[in-house]
Amino acid sequence: MFFFTDLISDLLYLEQSVLGCHGKYRRTLRNKCSEATLSNEEGVKDNSHLSGETMPTKSAVRMLVCFLQLCIVNGQVICERQMTAEWRVEPNHNVIKWTPRENVCSDFYTECWNMTKSITGEISEEQILSIPQICPLQLQLGDSLFISSEPSFQSYGMNLVNVSKEEFINCPKAGFLQEQLIFVCQIRGLHQVDPNWLGVGTHYFAELHKRGPLLCNMGLRLNITVKQQFCQQSPNAPLCSGHGKCLSHVWEKAYNCHCFSQYSGRFCQKFDMCSTKPCQNNASCTEKPELSGGSYECTCPPKFSGKNCTEIDGQCQPHTCFNGNCSNVTPNTFLCECDKGFTVLQGKQNNVCTGPC
What CATH number is associated with residue 135? Answer: 2.60.40.420
Q: Are 312 and 334 in contact (CB under 8 A)?
A: yes
For residue 201, give the H/E element and its range.
Answer: strand 201-209
Q: Which residues, in sequence order, are CB contacts of 126 under 8 Å at separation 6+?
A: 165
User: Does 199 share its domain with 246?
Assistant: no
pLDDT of residue 194: 93
Is residue 21 very low, low, confident or very high in pLDDT (cuts 50, 70, 90)? very low
User: Does 114 share its domain with 166?
Assistant: yes
pLDDT digits (tens, 9 = 90+) for 246-285: 999 988 999 999 999 889 899 999 888 888 889 998 899 9
79, part of any domain: no
Best CA proximity match to 11, nearest among 236, 302, 213:
213
212, part of any domain: yes
**Domain end call among 51, 74, 97:** 74
User: Does 65 share its domain with 130?
Assistant: no
What is the C-alpha separation between 87 and 83, in angstroms, rounded?
A: 13
234, part of any domain: no
User: Does 148 share its domain with 96?
Assistant: yes
User: Does 92 share its domain with 188?
Assistant: yes
Strands 93-98 and 144-149: parallel
User: Does 131 share its domain with 159?
Assistant: yes
pLDDT of residue 348: 46
User: Does 195 share its domain with 295?
Assistant: no
For residue 312, give the H/E element and its range.
Answer: strand 311-313
232, part of any domain: no
User: Does 126 share its domain with 15?
Assistant: no
pLDDT digits (tens, 9 = 90+) for 135-190: 999 999 999 999 988 776 666 667 888 999 988 988 877 677 778 888 877 777 88
98, part of any domain: yes
Q: How far apart are the first and last CA of the chain?
A: 101
116, part of any domain: yes
Residue-number span of the structural domain to which 246 is assigned = 239-271
Strands 221-227 and 133-140: parallel
User: Does 171 share its domain with 213?
Assistant: yes
User: Does 96 share its domain with 113?
Assistant: yes
**Domain end call among 33, 53, 74:** 74
What is the C-alpha separation between 49 and 164, in angstroms, rounded?
A: 43
The pLDDT of 9-19, averaged and rounded, is 45
What is the C-alpha separation between 38 and 218, in angstroms, rounded?
A: 23
Please state the domain count of the chain. Answer: 4
The pLDDT of 31-54, averaged and rounded, is 46
CB atoms within 10 A of CB 91: 12
User: Does 123 share its domain with 211?
Assistant: yes
pLDDT digits (tens, 9 = 90+) for 67-122: 554 444 444 577 877 889 999 999 999 999 888 777 888 887 778 877 666 654 55
Q: Is the pLDDT of residue 32 over 50?
A: no
**Domain end call among 74, 99, 124:** 74
Backbone angles phi, psi at 127, to 5 degrees: -85, -15
User: Does 259 share its domain with 282?
Assistant: no
What CATH number is associated with residue 341? Answer: 2.10.25
Q: How far is CA 227 from the centre of its chain?
A: 9
